[in-house]
Amino acid sequence: MLALDFFAQLVAADTAPKIMLVLALLVSIFGIYVVLSSRRDRAAANQVATHVTRDETSNKTSYDASQTDLSVRDRISKTRSSFAGAISVALTRSSITQQTWDELEEALLRADVGLTTTARVLAPLRELVKSKKITQPKDLASALQNEMTAQLSQNSRELNFDSSLGAPNIWLVVGVNGAGKTTTIGKLSAQQRALGRSVLLAAGDTFRAAAGEQLETWALRSGAEIVRGAEGGDPSSVIFDGVARATAQKIDLVLADTAGRLQNNTNLMEELAKVRRVADKGSGKVTEVLLVIDATTGQNGLTQAKQFSQSTQVTGVVLTKLDGSAKGGIVFAIETELAIPVKLVGLGETINDLVAFNAAEFVSALFD
Ligand SMILES: Nc1nc2c(ncn2[C@@H]2O[C@H](COP(=O)(O)OP(=O)(O)OP(=O)(O)O)[C@@H](O)[C@H]2O)c(=O)[nH]1
Ligand SMILES: [Mg+2]
């Protein structure tokens, strides 16, 4: 036993420093790990913070009037390159032949200008060539540009606001599902607020709950009031309530959102006609009916414009998504065939991306 005790003491005496050493090592490794991982966490946190800041800037939630002075030419670069590309094929030949006319016609049709307008634009050019006032294909380009500008409306593109009403002006915003109605209302609200007008948004799109929430976000961003109804409720009554509240609070302008489709079988056009009637019955007055058309839907937009125009007496078109792959020709088709002026164009998804439509600037941006 004595020998065993003595042996155990010997071992203990021998291993104690070793255990101490191992423990010291473990503590140091743990310490290094703690320091390193806290550094890594801090770096990750910084990265998230940078993302948030960057996202916040790119979302541009606050309206900045100077930002609306966008170069339309730059923003419609995709539209321009497809239009100018198609036209230039026809105009770089050595002489004007039947092929030139065929190619020009095809290019205009492909750019969504439409049959009627294409014929109207080319007829005067043929006369110029016949009378030998134009002999070179390249000279056709500027004549075409002039002719296309002349097709566009000479009427005012101002938004109708009657300040002598003594009651709210109501602007109804209509259009098919996904065209950009709610986004346009948000941008428009910001612009009107910047002009010093008080604005109320009426959430007449009761088709889905998210529509009201989306409009609420735009009300917050643009500093407007909002009136919402229950999901599936009667759109006309939401707009009527909105106008009543605007009247009570002496609000200048009601921007009324509407659905692009319905949950029941009621015809959308019938419903919109009712919305228009009811909106006019209250204390305010409908001074503008804006039809929002997604420019990338091409000739289909023209059919939509015809239908909406019959039921709600559209006073102006907002052409959205011209920053995308739209072909641009739809502007001419709408203006020449329906005589509805394009008043605004949407050039992106943020609050500053809505500008007044300028016909001459648009046509020259399409050509060069
Ligand atoms: N690139 C681009 N996107 C746009 C423009 N206008 C709207 N959008 C986008 O188009 C999508 C549909 O826009 P909304 O405003 O919700 O369209 P809506 O007509 O209200 O649609 P519904 O409520 O479903 O009928 C959204 O993702 C918008 O951000 C524009 O001018 N350019
Ligand atoms: Mg909407």
Asked if 218 and 332 sit in the same domain, the reply is: yes
Residue 311 has pLDDT above 50, yes or no: yes
The CB of 178 under 6 Å from ligand 1? The reply is yes
Task: Tell me if the pTM is above 0.95.
Answer: no
Q: Are 173 and 255 in contact (CB under 8 A)?
A: yes
Nearest atom in ligand 1 to the alpha carbon of residue 324 is 1
Counted domains in the chain: 2
Minimum CA distance residue for ligand 1 atom 13: 180
Asked if 142 and 245 sit in the same domain, the reply is: no
The CB of 260 under 6 Å from ligand 1? The reply is yes
Asked if 361 and 238 sit in the same domain, the reply is: yes
- Three-state DSSP class for 195? coil
Asked if 208 and 278 sit in the same domain, the reply is: yes
Asked if 142 and 277 sit in the same domain, the reply is: no
Cα 281 to its chain centre, rounded Å, is: 31
The closest ligand to the CA of 304 turns out to be: 1
- Three-state DSSP class for 328? coil
Measure the CA–CA gap between 115 and 228, rounded to whole angstroms: 43
How high does pLDDT run on average in the chain? Answer: 83
Residue 127 has pLDDT above 80, yes or no: yes
Residue 269 has pLDDT above 50, yes or no: yes
Asked if 88 and 128 sit in the same domain, the reply is: yes
Measure the CA–CA gap between 239 and 229, rounded to whole angstroms: 9
- The string of pLDDT tens digits covering residues 5-27 is 544 554 455 666 676 766 667 76
Asked if 100 and 240 sit in the same domain, the reply is: no
Residue 20 lies in a domain: no
Out of 119, 149, 179, pick the residue that ends a domain. Answer: 149
- The range of the structural domain enclosing residue 107 comes to 72-149
In angstroms, what CA-CA distances link 220 with 147, 169, 190, 350?
A: 44, 21, 10, 14
Asked if 145 and 207 sit in the same domain, the reply is: no
The CB of 324 under 6 Å from ligand 1? The reply is yes
Residue 205 lies in a domain: yes
CA of 174 to the centre of ligand 2 (A): 9
196 vs 151 pLDDT, higher one:
196
Average pLDDT over residues 59-63: 61
- The string of pLDDT tens digits covering residues 346-355 is 999 999 999 9
The closest ligand to the CA of 344 turns out to be: 1
